[in-house]
């Protein structure tokens, strides 16, 4: 492309490179082998929050946890485009691993701190290697422009007090990155999850594949990572990156739902013909296909804008979230409906995708929040 | 293989031999055609150089910079987009020599005589008859929704040559002289008040056999080439952010704060997102084509475009409130080319209703996506192996 990919209104490369295709193939093969729907379903009713062996294979062996981390800091030095491909595959399999939370949100927050400083660099290396799972301690619904520093107060010695609700993958995390109001304003702290003064109460989540917990800090020891504008920008950029890449996960969820629905309706026979031959059904699936094809362009647009780091990224992310979140929900709802009775059973995995899609719709800003953000970004002011 | 450097040289030679400032436009266009710089991917001697189509912008940009006249492609969309590729693929050498040059220069405008009152979505059911006579054919029937018929010199025509065969097999493809006796063109006024289209009545129209494209009875296969090119043409244009109708709606919103309501704001933002995503989807399709990896997304783009145009124009009429009650004028115009965004909101709203009907209804396109892209089983068909004359009508 000869156009400037950072100029508003132009479009970045929306295709997949050969390297991205290879990465996708590796992740897909791993998930097919270790995390098919029956395995995921069985794992959800066990006591372990996620499959540590699967996480090691994805994060460490494939190196997916370090995609966003520069090579000098122990990562792969790739970009949001590659992480988006991983998330598409994780969405297609509703895999319960802390990838979005640790390898995207926590990593991006740390990169926004001074990565040359010793503390963030060391933490990044541990996250990139998949040795540590980290989470950014914000409620999952927090939008990129949302209030992230409200729940916790920090004393001058770094002691944290307060509560953050509905933090995704908190129970799996060894490292908590905690936005807090410090003595001099907003600041970001690192807290070991196992410290005294940290209590994690798990929530019964709508989406069992992305566990939630409330975290209470009662005099927990925090290590200062960033303050003031740097802290604010680090957290906001992490949320923006998370929201933009969540669109790729939503694309993956929608893709699986459409493919499974087409497969089922082409085989299921009623009234003497495959139900997928009825126009009333095939038109719904064709309309969904168009939505999924469009969601792919929107999600790639967001990943590309985040990868190039241009000023258009907030618009591209808001567009992708506003569009892809409802597409994933629509696809999952159609999947349940067009499967008929089997779609309503616990045994069939459709419900896992429905629950993930509905949760993802709330995560990192609802579609309405992202449209409101757009109103400001593209000069379409409210009345 | 012709490369960009070679094209630049040939273009410079053309400009030197025929300076646009002192050459009549038609003479320049003819010279450009003869130099192989009209459509460079066409064969040598037929306006091209057998060069890669992707290099055409090299020529176009140099000619535009030099102030050279264009061939006004909007005036002859059917000719350039549909008739020409079909003639190139199925025409005889004599047909190619006769038709392509004046088609490209715009001297001869083309129209398309396909749809009939009884054959819309089910085009293959068409009833216009071509009967064999000594030196050719005599055609009788009625065609409809023919844009440009009142300006056209030639038409591409589908007619039934054997009613005893199943419908797809008894059709032949002709070039029809629109000035021939028995061709009667009448304006077809539409809901916008204007008449872009025509009804064409064919009564005993003589067509020489040398104006048949493809074999007798193979008209349907030939028509598929034509229709394939129609879809490519529809999905083709590149637009900037806020290009097209959404830009007009956004401009109205910014200019008329007194008319803003919360409900209209929410809907505008949703439409803005949909329009931007449709733009990105089209852009992704173009990137795939440029890489030589065409995707099936093209089949869906027209669906998205039609729905968006209808929703956005409907929003605009509602937003404009008292102004939305008015219409610019109902005069029966005969526009030379259609501009979906060229008139006020009421016109845009009414004209957009055609977007989900013309060039394949949205319902038929959904069937095509479902069956050809998703591989869903077809509906049972009762008309495929029955002689056309025995089908219920």
Task: Write out pLDDT tens, residues B217-239.
Answer: 999 999 988 777 655 544 455 78
Q: Assess whether pLDDT exceeds 70 at residue A9.
A: no
Q: A232-377 has which fold?
A: Butyryl-CoA Dehydrogenase, subunit A; domain 3 (1.20.140)
Structure tokens at B89: 């693929």
Residue B90 resides in a domain: yes
Residue B222 resides in a domain: no
Q: What is the CATH number of the domain that holds B94?
A: 2.40.110.10
Inter-chain touch A382–B260, beta carbons under 8 Å = yes
Residues of A in contact with B380 (CB under 8 A): 273, 277
Cβ atoms B324, B332 nearer than 8 A: no
pLDDT reported for residue B339: 79
Q: Assess whether pLDDT exceeds 80 at residue A4.
A: no
pLDDT reported for residue B231: 53
**Considering only residues 277 to 336 of chain B, which have any Cβ-Cβ distance to chain A shorter than 8 Å?**
277-281, 283-284, 287-288, 291, 293, 295-297, 300, 303-304
Tell whether B221 lies on the interface with A, counting CB pairs under 8 A: no
Cβ atoms B190, B146 nearer than 8 A: no
Task: Write out pLDDT tens, residues A195-230.
Answer: 999 999 999 999 999 999 999 999 999 999 999 999
The Cα–Cα gap between B32 and A359 comes to 61
Q: Assess whether pLDDT exceeds 90 at residue A70.
A: yes
Q: Mind telling me how many Å the CA of B293 is from chain A's nearest CA?
A: 10
CA geometry: angle at B287 spanning B283 and B291, to 5°?
170
Residue B337 resides in a domain: yes
Same domain, B161 and B36: no
Q: Which of B230, B276, B358, B371 is catalytic?
A: B230
Residues of A in contact with B240 (CB under 8 A): 9
Query: How long, in residues, is chain A?
Result: 383
SS3 category, A157: coil
pLDDT reported for residue A5: 39
CATH class, range A136-228: mainly beta
Same domain, B244 and B293: yes
Inter-chain touch A11–B280, beta carbons under 8 Å = yes
- Alpha-carbon distances, residue A274 vs A264, A268, A297, B367 (angstroms): 9, 5, 32, 15
Same domain, B96 and B152: yes
Inter-chain touch B281–A11, beta carbons under 8 Å = no
Task: Write out pLDDT tens, residues B140-179.
Answer: 999 999 999 999 999 999 999 999 999 999 999 999 999 9
Cβ atoms A186, A227 nearer than 8 A: yes
Helix (H) or strand (E) holding A170: none
Residues of B in contact with A18 (CB under 8 A): none
Same domain, B127 and B149: yes
Q: Assess whether pLDDT exceeds 90 at residue B300.
A: no
Mutation test of the interface with chain A: which of B270, B367, B376, choosing the one with the most A Cβ atoms within 10 A?
B376
Task: Write out pLDDT tens, residues B60-96.
Answer: 999 999 999 999 888 898 999 899 999 999 999 999 9
Query: Taking the domains of chain A in order of start, what are their residue ranges?
Result: 18-132, 136-228, 232-377
- From the CB of residue B41, how many other CB atoms can be counted at a distance below 10 Å? 15
Same domain, B56 and B178: no
CA-only gyration radius of chain B, Å: 23
Q: Which of A1, A285, A379 sits opposite B254 (nearest CB)?
A: A379
pLDDT reported for residue B235: 44
Residue B373 resides in a domain: no
Cβ atoms B58, B180 nearer than 8 A: no
Inter-chain touch B370–A282, beta carbons under 8 Å = yes
Cβ atoms B282, B235 nearer than 8 A: yes
Task: Write out pLDDT tens, residues A311-320.
Answer: 999 999 999 9
Q: How far apart are the first and last CA of chain B?
A: 53
Helix (H) or strand (E) holding A377: helix A367-377
Same domain, B274 and B346: yes
The Cα–Cα gap between B237 and B253 comes to 26
pLDDT reported for residue A1: 31
Is pLDDT larger for residue B244 or for residue B1?
A: B244
Whether B107 is catalytic: no
Same domain, B87 and B211: yes
If you ran DSSP here, which 8-state letter would residue A341 be given? G
Task: Write out pLDDT tens, residues B239-289.
Answer: 899 999 999 999 999 999 999 999 999 999 999 999 999 999 999 988 887
The Cα–Cα gap between A198 and B137 comes to 91
Query: How long, in residues, is chain B?
Result: 393
Q: Which of B280, B295, B367 sits opposite A298 (nearest CB)?
A: B280
pLDDT reported for residue A10: 59
Same domain, B193 and B296: no
Tell whether B54 lies on the interface with A, counting CB pairs under 8 A: no
**Residue B37, domain extent:** 1-70
If you ran DSSP here, which 8-state letter would residue A378 be given? T
Q: What is the CATH number of the domain that holds B264?
A: 1.20.140
Report ipTM for this prediction.
0.95
Residue B313 resides in a domain: yes
If you ran DSSP here, which 8-state letter would residue A332 be given? H
pLDDT reported for residue A8: 45
> A18-132 and A136-228 share one CATH topology?
no
- From the CB of residue B258, how many other CB atoms can be counted at a distance below 10 Å? 6
Residue B134 resides in a domain: yes
Same domain, B40 and B165: no
Domains contained in chain B, number: 3
- From the CB of residue B26, how many other CB atoms can be counted at a distance below 10 Å? 14
Residue B143 resides in a domain: yes
Cβ atoms A174, A192 nearer than 8 A: yes
Cβ atoms B162, B154 nearer than 8 A: no
Inter-chain touch A380–B283, beta carbons under 8 Å = no
Chain B residue with minimum CA distance to A318: B273
Helix (H) or strand (E) holding A318: helix A313-338
Q: A18-132 has which fold?
A: Butyryl-Coa Dehydrogenase, subunit A; domain 1 (1.10.540)
Q: Assess whether pLDDT exceeds 60 at residue B57.
A: yes
pLDDT reported for residue A2: 34
Average pLDDT, integer, range B378-386: 90
Mutation test of the interface with chain B: which of A12, A275, A297, A374, choosing the one with the most B Cβ atoms within 10 A?
A297
Cβ atoms A260, A331 nearer than 8 A: no
Residue B372 resides in a domain: no
Please write down the HEC assignment for all residues of chain B: CCCHHHHHHHHHHHHHHCCHHHCCHHHHHHHHHHCCCCCCCCCECCCECCCCHHHHHHHHHHHHHCCCCCCCHHHHHHHHHHHHHHHHHHCCHHHHHHHHHHHHHCCCCEEEECCECCECCCHHHCCCEEEEECCEEEEEEEECCCCCCCCCCEEEEEEECCCCCEHHHCEEEEEEECCCCCEEEEEECCCCCCCCEEEEEEEEEEEEHHHEECCCCCHHHHHHHHHHHHHHHHCCCCCCCCCCHHHHHHHHHHHCHHHCCHHHHHHHHHHHHHHHHHHHHHHHHHHHHHCCCCCCHHHHHHHHHHHHHHHHHHHHHHHCHHHHHCCCCCCCCCCCCCCCCCCCHHHHHHHHHHHHCCCCCHHHHHHHHHHHHCCCCCCCCCCCCCEHHHCCC
CA geometry: angle at B353 spanning B352 and B354, to 5°?
85
Structure tokens at B79: 């000719």
- With an 8 Å Cβ cutoff, the interface of chain A facing chain B consists of 1, 8-9, 11, 13-15, 262, 265-266, 273-274, 276-279, 282-283, 285-287, 289-290, 293-298, 300-301, 319, 322-323, 368, 371-372, 374-375, 378-380, 382-383
């Amino acid at each position: 492309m000869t156009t400037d990919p950072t100029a508003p209104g132009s479009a970045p490369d929306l295709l997949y490179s050969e390297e991205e295709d290879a990465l996708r193939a590796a992740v897909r093969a791993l998930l097919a082998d270790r995390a098919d729907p029956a395995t995921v379903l069985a794992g959800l009713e066990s006591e372990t929050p996620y499959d540590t062996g699967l996480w090691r294979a994805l994060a460490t062996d494939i190196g997916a946890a370090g995609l966003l981390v520069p090579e000098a800091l122990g990562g792969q030095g790739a970009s949001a485009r590659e992480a988006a491909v991983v998330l598409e595959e994780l969405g297609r399999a509703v895999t319960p691993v802390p990838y979005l939370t640790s390898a995207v949100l926590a990593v991006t927050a740390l990169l926004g701190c001074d990565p040359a400083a010793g503390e963030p660099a060391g933490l990044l290396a541990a996250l990139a290697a998949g040795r540590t799972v980290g989470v950014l301690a914000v409620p999952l619904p927090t939008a990129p422009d949302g209030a992230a520093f409200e729940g916790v107060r920090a004393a001058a010695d770094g002691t944290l007090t307060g509560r953050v609700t509905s933090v995704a993958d908190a129970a799996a995390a060894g490292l908590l990155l905690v936005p807090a109001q410090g003595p001099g304003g907003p600041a970001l702290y690192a807290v070991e999850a196992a410290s005294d003064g940290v209590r994690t109460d798990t929530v019964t989540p709508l989406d069992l594949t992305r566990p939630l917990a409330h975290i209470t800090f009662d005099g927990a020891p925090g290590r200062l990572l960033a303050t003031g504008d740097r802290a604010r920008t680090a957290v906001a950029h992490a949320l923006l990156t998370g929201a933009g890449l969540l669109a790729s996960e939503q694309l993956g969820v929608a893709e699986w739902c459409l493919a499974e629905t087409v497969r089922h309706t082409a085989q299921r026979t009623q009234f003497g013909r495959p139900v997928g031959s009825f126009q009333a059904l095939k038109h719904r699936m064709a309309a969904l296909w168009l939505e999924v094809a469009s969601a792919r362009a929107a999600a790639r647009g967001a990943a590309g804008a985040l990868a190039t780091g241009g000023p258009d990224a907030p618009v591209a992310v808001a567009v992708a979230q506003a569009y892809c979140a409802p597409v994933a929900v629509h696809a999952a709802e159609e999947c349940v409906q067009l499967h008929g009775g089997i779609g309503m059973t616990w045994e069939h995995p459709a419900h896992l995708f429905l629950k993930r899609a509905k949760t993802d719709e709330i995560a990192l800003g609802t579609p309405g929040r992202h449209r409101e953000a757009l109103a400001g970004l593209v000069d379409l002011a409210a009345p | 293989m012709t490369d960009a450097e070679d094209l630049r040289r040939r273009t410079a030679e053309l400009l030197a031999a025929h300076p646009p400032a002192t050459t009549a436009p038609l003479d320049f266009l003819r010279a450009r055609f003869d130099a192989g710089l009209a459509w460079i991917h066409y064969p040598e001697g037929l306006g091209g150089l057998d060069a890669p189509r992707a290099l055409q912008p090299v020529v176009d940009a140099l000619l535009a910079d030099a102030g050279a006249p264009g061939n006004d492609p909007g005036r002859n969309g059917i000719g350039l987009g549909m008739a020409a590729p079909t003639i190139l693929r199925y025409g005889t050498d004599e047909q190619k020599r006769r038709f392509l040059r004046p088609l490209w220069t715009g001297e001869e405008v083309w129209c398309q005589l396909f749809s009939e009152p009884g054959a819309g979505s089910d085009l293959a059911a068409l009833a216009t008859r071509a009967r064999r006579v000594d030196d050719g054919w005599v055609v009788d029937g009625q065609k409809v929704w023919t844009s440009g018929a009142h300006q056209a010199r030639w038409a591409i025509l589908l007619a039934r040559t054997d009613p005893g065969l199943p419908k797809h097999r008894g059709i032949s493809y002709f070039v029809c002289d629109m000035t021939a006796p028995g061709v009667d063109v009448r304006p077809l006024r539409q809901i916008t008040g204007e008449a872009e289209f025509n009804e064409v009545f064919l009564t005993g129209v003589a067509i020489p056999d040398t104006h048949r494209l493809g074999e007798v009875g193979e008209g349907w296969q030939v028509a598929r080439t034509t229709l394939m090119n129609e879809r490519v043409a529809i999905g083709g244009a590149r637009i900037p952010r806020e290009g097209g109708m959404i830009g007009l709606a956004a401009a109205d919103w910014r200019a008329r704060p007194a008319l803003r309501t919360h409900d209209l704001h929410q809907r505008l933002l949703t439409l803005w997102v949909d329009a931007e995503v449709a733009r990105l989807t089209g852009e992704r399709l173009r990137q795939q084509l440029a890489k030589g990896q065409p995707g099936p997304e093209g089949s869906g783009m027209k669906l998205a475009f039609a729905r968006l145009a209808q929703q956005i124009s409907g929003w605009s009429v509602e937003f404009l409130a008292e102004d939305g009650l008015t219409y610019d004028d109902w005069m029966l115009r005969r526009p030379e080319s259609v501009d979906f965004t060229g008139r006020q909101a009421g016109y845009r709203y009414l004209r957009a209703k055609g977007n989900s009907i013309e060039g394949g209804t949205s319902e038929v396109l959904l069937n095509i996506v479902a069956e050809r892209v998703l591989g869903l089983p077809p509906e049972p068909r009762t008309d495929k192996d029955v002689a056309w004359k025995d089908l219920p009508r």
